[in-house]
Amino acid sequence: MKEAQSESVIYFMPPGLHRDPKVLHHYVQDKIDHFYNVSQIVVCTTGCGGGNIGITASSAPLVYPKTRDCIDILLSGDSLSNLKRDMHGVFLTESWMEFMQESSIDMEKLEKKMGKEEAHEYLKKLYAPIHDFYIIDTGCYDTEPVKKYIEPMVELLSAKLHMIKGNYGILRKMARGTFDEDFFIVPKGEKVKAGSFPSNF
C-alpha cells in the first residue's frame, strides 16, 4: 500500500474462515452488506472452496481477481496468464505453518496421540499423492522456522522441498487500482456466478 501510495481502507479477515466455505461466505457477505457510500469493494478471497459463489454485490460493485485461491495470489507476477503452479504440491508460508501446527494432522500432535510408528503410517497415507513441498518466500517473514518445521514431514515422505519466490503481483495491482484482464467485476445488485474462478484442475 505504501509502494502504491494508496489510502484505501483494508479489512483483515479472521483466521480459520477457510475451514468451512459456508462460514467464509456468510462472513464476506455480511461485511459487504454493511458497507455504505463506497464506490467499489475489492475482495481477496476467491475460489477458496466455493465460498464466494453466490456473493451479492449489495452495497457496491465487487472486484475479484481471477485466482483459484490465496496461493495463486502469492505466486502471481505481472499476469495470471504466466502463472505456473504444481497443483499436487503443498505450499507453505509462516501463517500456513501456524495453521498446520494448530491442526489435528500436525506430526508432533499425531505422534503423541497415536505413537510415532502409527502416526507416520497415517501421514504417509494422507499425503500419498504429495511429492513436493514449497515454501513461498514473500520477503515478509523468516523462512527458516518454516523450513525447520516441515523438514521432518519432507523426510518422512521422501519428498522434495523447494523455496520459491512470492511476488504477489495481484496484490500490487489491487493496491494500485489496476484492474485489468486478471480481474472481473460484479455490478451492484448482481451475484458472483459459478465458474467465475479457475478450476483447480
- H/E stretch holding 184 reads strand 183-186
**In 83-173, beta strands by DSSP E:** 90-92, 132-137, 160-165
Q: How confident is the model at residue 15 (pLDDT cuts 50, 70, 90)?
A: confident
**Matching residue, cell 494448530:** 102
Q: What is the pLDDT of residue 200?
A: 64
Q: Tell me: the pLDDT tens digits for 52-86?
A: 999 999 999 999 999 999 999 999 999 999 998 99
| Mean pLDDT confidence for 115-121 | 97
Termini Cα distance of the chain: 32
- Residue 48 sits in which domain range? 17-76+168-186
Considering the domain architecture, whether residues 119 and 149 belong to the same structural domain is answered as yes
The grid cell for 35 is: 458497507
Is the full-model pTM beyond 0.85? Answer: yes
Considering the domain architecture, whether residues 29 and 60 belong to the same structural domain is answered as yes
The C-alpha atoms of residue 127 and residue 105 are separated, in whole angstroms, by 11
Q: What is the pLDDT of residue 19?
A: 80
Considering the domain architecture, whether residues 33 and 56 belong to the same structural domain is answered as yes
The grid cell for 77 is: 507476477
- The CA distances from residue 49 to 18, 130, 178, in Å, are 8, 20, 26
Q: Tell me: the pLDDT tens digits for 143-201?
A: 999 999 999 999 999 999 999 999 999 999 999 999 999 999 999 999 999 999 987 64
49: left (phi over 0), alpha (psi -120 to 50) or beta: left
Asked if the structure places residue 42 within a domain, the reply is yes
Q: DSSP readout, 3-30?
A: TTT------PPPTTGGG-HHHHHHHHHH
Asked if the structure places residue 151 within a domain, the reply is yes
Q: What is the pLDDT of residue 199?
A: 78
Considering the domain architecture, whether residues 86 and 155 belong to the same structural domain is answered as yes
Q: Which of 111, 75, 110, 98 shows the shortest CA–CA distance to 149? A: 98
Name the domain count of the chain. Answer: 2
